[in-house]
Structure 1
Amino acid sequence: MMPVQYKNQYVTVFQSELYQTTSTVAVTKDMILIVDPTWLPGEIETIRQHVAKNDAGQHKYLLFTHSDFDHIHGWKAFPEAVTIASRGFVDRTNKKKMVQEAQDFEDYYYIERPYPVEYPQIDIIIDHDEQTIKNGDTSVSFYLAPGHQVDGVFAVVHEPGVLIAGDYVSDVEFPFIHHDSEAYERTVDKLEEVVDDKKIKLLIPGHGKCTTDRDEMRDRIGDSRWYIETLRDEIRQQKRLDVLEAFVDSYRFSRYLREEHENNKAQIQKEYRA
């Protein structure tokens, strides 16, 4: 079983026991959109059963917001779904590494699945912002979102006003900058524009709690922007900033997150040297 974090007329947000990872299923009379089904076989089976229960012959789509291995575990559980991801996802040169990380996870925890762990094959490739799929009265637009990873994408389900953000604007994580800090900032700016322009009613991060509070959406965006700017100031000044340390320590799982904070420092130092 996989707990349901949030549910309304259109959207069910499942939350894994691992890393508070979310998997979203949006259902309308025209379409079923499945996003990042993960982690454990029983959790993915819960999602699969939910999709089957709501299947009235709609078009089914499976979106991968990025290629981190925890977001691609469930591909083979939905063979009937049309897959969607960014051009960067398709063109990644280290696909074998992603699959190996997934396989290492399986081996470490003795996990067996009824399908192989493979890198997803993509049917619809997102090449530009606001690329849209439409079935009947339901439309979903996609936006390129590099920064966390090079191949990120987030999605807006228009009629319910839902923003599926991938690994951004979390309440349990500050930015994890695995690709580029300036690209991350541009994605944060884009998220802010979309929240305002598309009248978003529900924001769903890849980890942590979703929110229907627009002030909280803006606060999360502001915190992400402040963290990157302040971290860059710390690297530039070459001295430890107490306010930044306090910010990191304010997170519930700061012992683990501190490792990511150090990785972020190394990433920005590398950008300065480039």
Structure 2
Amino acid sequence: MISYKIENITVFQSSLYMTTTAIVETEDVMIMTDPNWLPSEVAAIRKYVDEHIGTKQLYIIYTHSDFDHIIGSGAFPDAKVIATEELQRNEHKEEIIKKIHAFDSGYYLQRNYEPHYPRVDYPVTHDGQILDLGQISLTFYKAPGHTSDCLFTIIEPLGIFLSGDYLSDVEFPFIFSSFKDYLNTMDKAEYILKTHHINLLIPGHGSITEDKQEIDNRLNDSKFYLNNLLNEGDSLEKYCREKYAFYEGIGNIHLENRKLAKKESVI
């Protein structure tokens, strides 16, 4: 499962949707994002944690509440949880857990833990909120648009940008909550890239990159998509077909994006 490893950073990638789980280790703490997907994959991540955690405290950052990103939460009851206050007070917790059970039932999957909705120990309430953990510092920014409870995290001084379901090289923007919020979040991502020294981008789906030009390109690609979403015709669809290898599997989301953007534009 390991798709990227350098010094104290390990990234696991699921066979499903190229979904990532990042682990950052220091002398004091271990920080993880979104443990996922399949039971054997969550077990492999749990095994890695058990082999490397020692006396360190485990922290899990949940980038948002989509069921595929919290599906492994029950396997890490010892973790301290970081997430937005919006994720903490989500009114659809039971529905999200039902999606996990429906997924497992549909594919005859058995887990050695009971999936549950994360209990948040450190809620993020505002942009620029900082949590110091020994040698490192986490700076948080709320990032609504994909969902209303998304979170950006910057790990300093390592220069790691945990972007959740944004800035992917395999997905155009998936807008599940608000088109206008997504636009604002991309402006926030641009601000982050200008004000923080970013060495590594880890998205929730797709490839990790150390290339600063690639990071800028992903931001520009997302802004191009959003800025052209309301244009009539099929030129944007053609662009997406050429750029994103899995478009045939996700093209319906492009159509739903356009509906949502049009709806917001007339309100």
Q: What TM-score, normalized to structure 1?
A: 0.94
CA distance in 2, matches of 1:124, 1:262: 36
Cα offsets for 1:238-270 (capped at 9, x unmatched) = x3142x122111210111121110110111122
Q: Report the Cα offset of residue 65 of structure 1.
A: 0.3
CA distance in 1, matches of 2:188, 2:32: 23
After superposition, residues 186-225 of structure 1 pair within 5 angstroms as 186-225=184-223
CA distance in 1, matches of 2:54, 2:157: 19
Q: Determine helix, strand or coil for the equivalent of 2:229.
A: helix
After superposition, residues 107-256 of structure 1 pair within 5 angstroms as 107-232=105-230, 234=231, 239-242=232-235, 244-250=236-242, 251-256=244-249
Cα offsets for 1:198-247 (capped at 9, x unmatched) = 11000011000010000010000001011011012x1xxxx3142x1221
CA distance in 1, matches of 2:71, 2:252: 24
Paired letter, 1:73:
I
Larger mean CA deviation between 22-31 and 91-100 belongs to 91-100
Paired letter, 2:165:
D
Cα offsets for 1:96-132 (capped at 9, x unmatched) = 2111111110100111111112211111101011212
The runs of 5 or more residues in structure 1 that have no matched partner are none
Q: Report the Cα offset of residue 151 of structure 1.
A: 0.3
CA distance in 2, matches of 1:217, 1:116: 37
Larger mean CA deviation between 33-42 and 95-104 belongs to 95-104
The runs of 5 or more residues in structure 2 that have no matched partner are none
Q: Report the Cα offset of residue 188 of structure 1.
A: 1.2
Pairs aligned (count): 266
- Give the conservation status (yes or no) of the 8 Å contact 2:35–2:72: yes
Q: Report the Cα offset of residue 156 of structure 1.
A: 0.9
CA distance in 2, matches of 1:156, 1:11: 14
Q: Determine helix, strand or coil for the equivalent of 2:58.
A: strand
CA distance in 2, matches of 1:123, 1:214: 33
Paired letter, 1:266:
K
Q: Determine helix, strand or coil for the equivalent of 1:13.
A: strand
Q: Report the Cα offset of residue 59 of structure 1.
A: 2.2
The aligned counterpart of 1:268 is 261
The aligned counterpart of 2:36 is 38
- Give the conservation status (yes or no) of the 8 Å contact 1:65–1:71: yes
- Give the conservation status (yes or no) of the 8 Å contact 1:20–1:208: yes
Paired letter, 1:267:
L
Cα offsets for 1:135-172 (capped at 9, x unmatched) = 22111111101000000001111121111100000000
Paired letter, 2:254:
H
The aligned counterpart of 1:28 is 26
Q: Report the Cα offset of residue 133 of structure 1.
A: 1.5
Q: What TM-score, normalized to structure 2?
A: 0.97
- Give the conservation status (yes or no) of the 8 Å contact 2:183–2:223: yes
- Give the conservation status (yes or no) of the 8 Å contact 1:18–1:39: yes
Instruction: Flag as ranges the 4+ runs of structure 1 deviating above 2 A.
Output: none
RMSD: 1.1
Cα offsets for 1:77-99 (capped at 9, x unmatched) = 11111011101101211112111
The aligned counterpart of 2:71 is 73
CA distance in 2, matches of 1:76, 1:95: 14
Q: Report the Cα offset of residue 179 of structure 1.
A: 0.8
CA distance in 1, matches of 2:174, 2:257: 7
